[in-house]
Amino acid sequence: MSSFDVARVRADFPILGREINGHPLVYLDSANTSQKPVQVLDVMRAHAEQHNANVSRSVHTLGTESTAAYEDARAKVATFIGAASPDEVVFTKNSTEALNLVAHSAGEMLGVGPGDEIVISEMEHHSNIVPWQLLCRRTGATLRWFGVTDDGRLDESTLDELVNERTKIVSLVHMSNILGTINDVSRIVARAHQVGALVLLDCSQSVPHLPLSVSALGADFIAFTGHKMVGPTGIGVLWGRGAVLADLPPFLGGGSMIETVTLEHTTFAAPPARFEAGTPPITEAIGLGAAVDYLSAIGMDEIHRHEQEITGYALKTLADLPGVRVFGLGTPEGRGGTVSFDVDGIHPHDVGQILDDLGVQVRVGHHCARPVCARFGVAAMTRASFYLYTTTDEIDALARGIEQVRRVFG
């Protein structure tokens, strides 16, 4: 596609043609999970129907075809994020597993213990909080964090004090799943490396929506997941710098991640196999490769530009509604297509129920980011999140739905 055509894009997604409660589906929950185009569904179905076999085990035709497709998907992902080699791409079942892998294995590699510190932020998804809490509980290390400013940015005012010679790992969200903030992590990455710490970025929300290069980010690891980027569930990615992965001990033990096994001793395969014990999510990985093909054909610059326009339209539309409070940045610059808000005096669950009655699908709750809700003094938020198939008509439907919410609840 030489230019972005949202109508043409929407035609690739069969689910967008259905109705909910007699109303056209308005899907505004892509930060939770995105929808899948026929191009991805067809590739996965064709593999299951014609090439299904385990990978990296059999020399027969089906096994060879399946292995080739699986490794081809790895190569596509590597190119998509600008990795130096496909060997830097580890397939996991989701971002959560990727983050836990680093917390466990890097913690072991670095010998994290009492007196050491791990740094996260108040903006994190629970998946980038709990693994570090568990690491600190196991080792006696201390967990510290960046705060969040009133406008929804990371507070870097104490950077040099927070990231110091005791810091072993800094793990941050690149784009917030609840505020939509896109964090410029350059200063934090530079400071972390200055004191000898490793850096992990949770890119679950940014990889699907932004042109992204791991070399430009400068981190040692990034994690993301397939189901937020028009791919299937059950497949995630950990990218790691080759030199770091080579020293990282395995997270899980089993078949395929070994060189030799005796009853007394085991030696482990080189990355990425070292971190992919057992039968992997083969069809899902191939589906992720198809998702990468689909997004690449449209162009991530085009997708980001479209989402910036939609986000700007949504922010203006919500700002014009009485009693609606938007959390985070008030302009599309520096944020992605995720907008969380509160309707004065009405619980988000009630907002979500009325919107669903009208076919508008949003997410309500604390969005696995409860510390953010606490920071802004609310128990929960309503979140609308956009993607390459979102239209201004859908934003208008959201606004009409909010007006109906206010009418129902007075």
Structural domain span for residue 175 = 41-296
List, for residues 17-68, the tens digit of each pLDDT value. Answer: 999 999 999 999 999 999 999 999 999 999 999 999 999 888 899 999 999 9
List, for residues 174-187, the tens digit of each pLDDT value. Answer: 999 999 999 999 99
Give yes or no: residues 262 and 319 share one domain.
no
Q: What is the mean pLDDT of the chain?
A: 97
Give the model's pLDDT for residue 4: 82
Give the model's pLDDT for residue 347: 97
Give the model's pLDDT for residue 189: 98
Give yes or no: residues 114 and 181 share one domain.
yes
Query: How far, in whole angstroms, is CA 12 from its chain's centroid?
Result: 22
Give the model's pLDDT for residue 410: 79
Q: What confidence category does residue 83 fall into, taking pLDDT thresholds of 50, 70 and 90?
A: very high
Give yes or no: residues 211 and 95 share one domain.
yes
**284/48 Cα distance (integer angstroms):** 10
- Crossing angle of helices 392-408/300-319, nearest 10°? 30
Structure tokens at 244: 């770091």
pLDDT at 2 over 50: no
Give yes or no: residues 266 and 314 share one domain.
no
Q: What confidence category does residue 318 fall into, taking pLDDT thresholds of 50, 70 and 90?
A: very high
Which residue among 296, 326, 354 closes a domain?
296
Give yes or no: residues 218 and 362 share one domain.
no
**223/257 Cα distance (integer angstroms):** 20
What is the sign of the dihedral through the CA atoms of 389, 4, 332 and 406? negative
CATH number of residue 335's parent domain: 3.90.1150.10
Is the residue at 153 inside a domain? yes
- For residue 151, how many other CB atoms are within 10 A of its CB? 12
CATH number of residue 189's parent domain: 3.40.640.10
Give the model's pLDDT for residue 108: 97
List, for residues 194-233, the tens digit of each pLDDT value. Answer: 999 999 999 999 999 999 999 999 999 999 999 999 999 9
CA diameter of the chain: 72
Nearest of 18, 19, 31 to residue 382 by alpha carbon: 31
List, for residues 345-380, the tens digit of each pLDDT value. Answer: 999 999 999 999 999 999 999 999 999 999 999 999
pLDDT at 1 over 50: no
Q: What confidence category does residue 3 fall into, taking pLDDT thresholds of 50, 70 and 90?
A: low
Q: Please, which residues have CB within 8 angstroms of residue 334's CB and are 6 or more apart in sequence?
A: 153, 181, 182, 184
Give yes or no: residues 70 and 119 share one domain.
yes
Place of tokens 């069969």: 14
Per the CB < 8 A criterion, the answer to whether 31 and 338 are in contact is yes
Q: Catalytic site residues?
A: 368
Which residue among 275, 296, 317 closes a domain?
296
| Residue type, position 59, single letter | V
Per the CB < 8 A criterion, the answer to whether 116 and 263 are in contact is no
Percent of the chain with pLDDT over 90: 98
User: Side-chain half-sphere of 286: how many Cα atoms within 13 Å?
Assistant: 21
Give yes or no: residues 62 and 141 share one domain.
yes
Note the helical H segments in 237-376.
242-247, 282-298, 300-319, 348-357, 370-375
Is the residue at 35 inside a domain? no
